[in-house]
Structure 1
Amino acid sequence: MYCDGRMIHMESSLFGVHRSLFDFTALGHAFILWLAIQGGIYTQTKLLSFVEDLDHLFFACPFSERVWNALHAKCNLPWVQRSWLDTLSWMEQFRGRSISSIVIQLIFVASIYAIWHERNAWTHGEAPKNESTVIQDIVFTICA
């Protein structure tokens, strides 16, 4: 991945994540995904000793779950709540270069970024967005 001519190395084979997850994404989105894979996202557990981990942040939180449900419905994919590691494994089936695989990869990476960004905004006192606004942001990111 390149940024202003400098190479940024991201180990993409961790947890079975294929490099293609990083191929079509904006640098900021790919960086947040890479941080999450590395266990470097500061969740509430790490910040304030509350009970929040990547499973809760990205999947078990009611807000996140509504976002995933809506996005999966838009793509005509059934939503099955998974753990973080199970989701990374599930994404392995979309490692190809077909249009549907690329779109699902983009949805995944943009969703991880948007959910993290929204939680981060809440943590720092910004007014919360509703899930329909976050979903629109994700769709806009993918289509931009």
Structure 2
Amino acid sequence: MAIPRHAFMLWLVFKNSLITKERMCYWGYGGDPLCRFCCGIQECIEHLYFQCSFSRRLWRNIMLSCSITDPYVEWTEVVECSVAKLKGRSLQTTLCKLCFASSVYHLWRQRNDLCHGNTPRTEECIEAQIKCEVRARILFK
């Protein structure tokens, strides 16, 4: 299991450094700027992770498994919550951190699979992979 790549992805997201379609268009590269999940809005970090219906459903399911019944839906709320509430080493805090990092990674991986013509995974498959990785990380740490 490769949690370090998850941490790197999380770092890129927090630094607003992912190369999204919005950024590519800004740099002058052509191509379709729309989100590959819903094809309705230009792809940016905010939309890709929190506004897109595909991402929202995945976040809701993952956060419910962490006993968070009201998941954050805006990037600023996620950053504020992460800084304020996810300190320490309690099991709940560790679980939330691992779920968050794994979700960010798997959403980006799904996005890349769709952009590059690879076979996309279902929401259920992605959710199962996230839970399996987090469970393995907690059990075998």
State the Cα distance separating 1:65 from its structure 2 match: 0.6
Q: Matches of residues 16-31 of structure 1 in structure 2 within 5 Å?
A: 26-31=3-8
| 1:52 aligned residue (40, 43, 48) | 43
Could you state the TM-score of these two structures normalised by the residue count of structure 2?
Answer: 0.78
Answer whether contact 2:58 2:123 (CA < 8 A) is retained: yes
What is the RMSD of the two structures over their aligned residues, measured on CA atoms?
1.6
| 1:86–1:70 distance in 2 versus 1, CA, 3 Å | same
Match of 2:78 in 1: 87
Amino acid at match of 2:98: L
| 1:103 aligned residue (88, 95, 105) | 95
State the Cα distance separating 1:80 from its structure 2 match: 3.6
| 1:79–1:44 distance in 2 versus 1, CA, 3 Å | farther
| 2:66 aligned residue (75, 83, 93) | 75
Secondary structure, in 3 states, of the residue corresponding to 2:89? coil
Could you state the TM-score of these two structures normalised by the residue count of structure 1?
Answer: 0.76
Structure 2 CA distance for aligned equivalents of residues 80 and 35 of structure 1: 21
Match of 1:136 in 2: 128
Answer whether contact 2:56 2:73 (CA < 8 A) is retained: no
The percentage of counterpart residues that share the same residue type is 28
Are 1:116 and 2:108 matched, yes or no?
yes
Alignment deviations for residues 70-89 of structure 1 (CA, whole Å, 9 cap, x no partner)? 11222221234422232111
Answer whether contact 2:59 2:71 (CA < 8 A) is retained: no
**Where in structure 2 are there 5+ consecutive unaligned residues?**
25-30, 34-41, 137-141
**Where in structure 1 are there 5+ consecutive unaligned residues?**
1-24
TM superposition outliers: structure 1 runs of 4+ over 3 Å: none
